[in-house]
Amino acid sequence: MNERSAMEVAAVRALEEADRARTIWTDDDRAWASRAAAQVVGEHAAPEAFIARRAALALERLSTRARAMPSMIRAWRWRPWVGVAIIALAFVAGVVVDRIDGTQRINVLAPPVLLLVLWNLGVYAVLGAGYVLRYGDASPMGPLRRAVVRLAAHRRPAPAPRDANADPMPQAMAAWAHAWIEQSAPLYAKRAARVLHLAAAALAIGVIAGLYWRGIAVEYRATWESTFLDAPFVRQLLAIVYAPGVWLTSNAIPDVAAIAAIRAPGSANAAPWLHWMAATLTLVVIAPRLVLALLAGLVERHRAARLPVALGEAYFLRLLRGLHDGPVPVRVVPYSFTPDTAAASTLAAILGRAVGGNAQVTMAPAVAYGADEPAALATATEWQVLLFNLAATPEAETHGAFLAAIAASTRAGESPLAVVDESGLRARLGDDAARLDARRALWRSLCDDHRCAVLFVDLAAPDFAAAERALDAALTTPRAAP
């Protein structure tokens, strides 16, 4: 998924998960977004395309009623001009950093060129060592990269309100900020690295431009001075430091006598030294940095077009059930009892949320105790949901046989959902948590044996937010084959 779509998907996800009470983004809104996205991309579209289109449509509608989220997304998008400004400032700094004192004398042991060469060689060593030690894995962002990212994209996320009943929008925005920082970190780290490599090259180009530009109007004189170093050592040091420039220009560093002659207060015309400095910066700084920037840019482009989205998570599985041009057919089959109208309506609302609100729930006639004929229970396009009563003790010979028959008739790659209504047993036991947990454990064991997801809910007094979270967890829990 590309960067823009991934950012929008993360934002809509944060809102939908924070707004469990549907105060901002209702079930009708969610159903509309899924239905409209399915109509645009088609039922056979890739899951990523459906989810991305749904997020874009959702944000369009949200922009008319809750502008904070779309505004935050726009504010957090990468600002390319920041990178351009950093590179331009680096060039300007290079031009002005070599403002030689009023004597126009260049100390060949301490110009910006020497510092730039040593600094960049150190950077290459650190980058290479880190790559080897991490076996090619992505590196964490250092302070410079973090500074670039903060300038160009990220703002400091505000902590989410502690009050669970608070406005869900601040909670959603804080959750999105944390999630997006984590999701975009590999991409932004490589983008910041590209900017910094180009800035380093621009700094070196600026130094060269400044030296040559001022060299046209004034005569630079090359000299050196030191309290501890002598001419032979200085000559050897300069031959090493400017070896790339010497190789490129094919002019050798002067001998020891010539080096001794330019020791302060002596000097010589600095033109040859300027050429060696410029050639050295070109080979040691500019060319490698441009290559590194190119490589970082290629990786950045790849990552920006393919940000990972975990489609196996509960939120996305729920949305993908809504990839239909029309309502998702859901067939509820009660076993050995018939729920009343209120319970059936509550269950339909819970299941509607499981498919993004775009569900058409049908309540089938109750299956008689001991029956295990699934053939006529559902069509190939329907999602089967089995409704049991927690008041009943699960039995392998009856309930288990029914689950086995249903599982055998289910399409490959799918599994039915068992909903166990707790209202009857709660009315009889009250808040006896130990006995309720014991009965849940029996039903959970039976459903696990038949690779069937199970949801426990009190249909007489439901907690919709808790039921939604429990359903998400039930539908994403791996189940081993029996």
One-letter amino acid at 46 equals A
Same domain for 212 and 65: yes
Distance CA 234, CA 338 (A): 97
Q: What is the pLDDT of residue 358?
A: 66
The DSSP symbol for 478 reads -
pLDDT of 157 above 60: no
Label residue 481 by pLDDT band (50, 70, 90): very low
Judged against a pLDDT cut of 80, whether residue 4 lies above it is answered with yes
Q: How confident is the model at residue 154 (pLDDT cuts 50, 70, 90)?
A: low
pLDDT for residue 218 is more than 70: yes
- What's the rounded Cα separation, in Å, for the pair 348 and 368? 22
104 in any annotated domain: yes
pLDDT band at 388 (very low <50, low <70, confident <90, very high): very high
List pLDDT tens digits, range 78-102: 999 999 999 999 999 998 886 544 5
Residues 303 and 293 in one domain: yes
Query: pTM here?
Result: 0.77
> Tokens 């707004």 correspond to what residue?
19
AA letter at 366: A
Whether residue 369 has pLDDT greater than 80: yes
Domain contains 108: yes
* The amino acid at 478: P
Q: What is the pLDDT of residue 437?
A: 92
pLDDT score, position 100 = 47
**Do 431 and 379 belong together in one domain?**
yes
Question: Of 291, 307, 326, which marks where a domain is finished?
Answer: 326
Domain at 345, CATH number? 3.40.50
Give 448-460 as a DSSP string.
HHTT-EEEEE-TT
* DSSP category for residue 367: B
Residue 351 lies in a domain: yes
Sign, CA dihedral 469-472-477-481, equals positive
Q: Based on the fold, state whether residues 356 and 302 are members of the same structural domain.
A: no
Q: Is the pLDDT of residue 235 over 80?
A: yes
Distance CA 106, CA 167 (A): 65
Number of separate domains in the chain:
2
Whether residue 332 sits in one domain with residue 299:
no
CA distances from 235 to 227, 238, 266, 274 (A): 15, 5, 15, 16
Task: Kindly state the average pLDDT of the residues 225-248.
Answer: 89
Q: Is 313 found in the same domain as 448?
A: no
Residue whose tokens read 């599994």: 415
- Domain contains 239: no
Q: Is the separation of the CB atoms in 277 and 111 below 8 Å?
A: yes
- Residue 252 belongs to a domain: no
Confirm whether 243 is domain-assigned.
Answer: no
The mean pLDDT value for 269-284 works out to 90
- Pairing mode, strands 268-269 and 221-223: antiparallel
Residue 394 to residue 445: CA distance in whole angstroms: 9
Structure tokens at 66: 């809750």
Whether the per-residue pLDDT at 352 is higher than 60: the answer is yes
Q: Does residue 122 belong to any structural domain of this protein?
A: yes
Q: How far apart are alpha carbons 429 and 414 in whole angstroms?
A: 35
Residue 389 to residue 333: CA distance in whole angstroms: 12
| Whether residues 60 and 186 fall in one domain | yes
φ, ψ dihedrals at 32, nearest 5°: -60, -45
Same structural domain for residues 30 and 86? yes
CB atoms within 10 A of CB 206: 22
The total number of residues shown for the chain amounts to 482
Which residue type is seen at 39?
Q
Arithmetic mean of pLDDT over the chain:
84
How far apart, in whole angstroms, are the C-alpha atoms of residue 135 and residue 139? 10
Same domain, 20 and 94: yes
Map tokens 């809104």 to a residue. Answer: 29
Q: Is 16 within the bounds of a domain? A: yes
Instruction: Specify which of 38-52, 137-151, 295-309 reaches the highest per-range mean pLDDT.
Output: 295-309
Contact 419, 383 (CB under 8 A): no
pLDDT for position 324: 64
Domain boundary pick from 307, 326, 345: 326
Q: What is the pLDDT of residues 98-135, one digit of tens each?
A: 654 455 778 888 778 888 999 999 999 988 888 777 76
CA–CA gap between residue 46 and residue 38 (Å, rounded): 11
Residues 315-338 have pLDDT tens digits of 888 788 767 666 778 888 899 888
The answer to whether 312 and 51 are in contact (CB under 8 A) is: no
Q: Looking at 282-400, list the stretches that DSSP marks H as alpha helix, in order from N- to C-terminal side.
A: 287-305, 314-320, 341-354
Q: Which residues pair with 335 in a beta bridge?
A: 367
Q: How confident is the model at residue 442 (pLDDT cuts 50, 70, 90)?
A: very high
Distance CA 21, CA 189 (A): 37
In the chain, % of residues over pLDDT 90: 31
Same domain, 21 and 34: yes
Same domain, 303 and 366: no
pLDDT-derived band of residue 379, with 50, 70 and 90 as boundaries?
Answer: low
pLDDT exceeds 90 at position 165: no
Higher pLDDT, 166 or 260: 260
d(CA 478, CA 406): 19
pLDDT of residue 256: 92
Q: Which domain holds residue 83?
A: 1-216+272-326
- DSSP assignments along 217-253, one per residue: HS--EEEB--SS--HHHHHHHHHHHTHHHHHHHT-PP
> Do both 342 and 317 map to the same domain?
no
Q: What is the pLDDT of residues 410-434, one digit of tens each?
A: 655 566 789 999 998 888 888 788 9
Residue with the two structure tokens 């249903």: 406
Please report which confidence band the pLDDT of residue 356 belongs to, taking 50, 70 and 90 as the band edges: low
Using the CB atoms, write b or e for 296-319: b if 16+ within 10 Å: bbebbeebbeebebeeeebbbbbb
Of the residues 286, 310, 326, which one is the last residue of a structural domain? 326
Question: Token pair 């049908």 is at which residue?
Answer: 362
